[in-house]
Amino acid sequence: MSIQLTSIFGCASIGVYALATDEIVIIPSSISERKAERFGRWLNAKVIHTDIGSSSLVGVLACANSNGIILPHIVRDEEIKAIRQVWDGNIAVMETSYTAYGNMILANDYGAIVDPSIEDKERKVIEDTLNVEVIEGKIADLPYVGSLAVATNKGVLAHPMINEEEKKTIEDLLKVKVTVGTVNRGVPYVATGLLCNKKSAVVGFLTTGPELFIIGQALGVAEEDERS
């Protein structure tokens, strides 16, 4: 499928509000059913229509791969139920003061890089839930790796200031090539404006042609086709 350009709540930072894996896409409950289903069609994934912790900031609060999903302690029972109704993967609710696990974890089905502030026992929970090896790391010498890159089973798109050591660490663990790029006219926090899986990608509507080309090459998906 092609890369699509769109918005959520009129905003190009679509990755802040949604989360995608090869199997599911989670869209906030306040988004219309019609638009939520459009995301599912674009990404060829099952739609889960729910908030996390009564918040629409789904992409900030949660992280997932094909095996499991990491949720913050503020998640509500009905939100977990909404996930369970669609998907039978592992679910872990992290009993820590942290909530922004989407910003703190970069994962695919081969491995996960986590913010160094996450302690050993929490890393073990993440490892068991996502069923991958987990190590701590940084990107561009910054700890919030989940907002600084996106990862699929075909590639990683990362902040342009990633250094060679960080790049090698990610490539060795996630077993895919790292490419640098931006979204939404130069924003280096690529996860804020990009939803993707191994099949397709959806980006913020401000993303330029050269950015789309790099995204397509990095993630192994086609270039832009239509806007919505």
Asked if residue 227 is part of any domain, the answer here is: no
Residues 6 or more apart whose CB falls under 8 angstroms from that of 28 comprise: 8, 17, 18, 49, 50, 51, 56, 58
87 part of a folded domain: yes
26 neighbors 56 (Cβ within 8 angstroms):
no
Question: Which residue, 162, 24, 13, 154, is CA-closest to 87?
Answer: 24
Q: Is residue 40 part of a domain?
A: yes
Q: What is the pLDDT of residues 114-142, one digit of tens each?
A: 999 999 999 999 999 999 999 999 999 99
Q: Which domain holds residue 94?
A: 3-222
Determine, yes or no, domain membership for 126.
yes
Domain count, the chain: 1
Residue 228 lies in a domain: no
In order, the DSSP letters of 75-127 are --HHHHHHHHHH--SEEEEE-SS---HHHHEEE-SSEEEE-TTS-HHHHHHHH
Domain assignment present for residue 143? The answer is yes
Task: Render pLDDT for 78-95 as a digit per residue (tens, 0 to 9).
Answer: 999 999 999 999 999 999
Q: What is the CATH number of the domain that holds 172?
A: 3.75.10.10
In a domain, 164, yes or no: yes
pTM higher than 0.75, yes or no?
A: yes
Q: Tokens 């679509």 map to which residue? A: 14
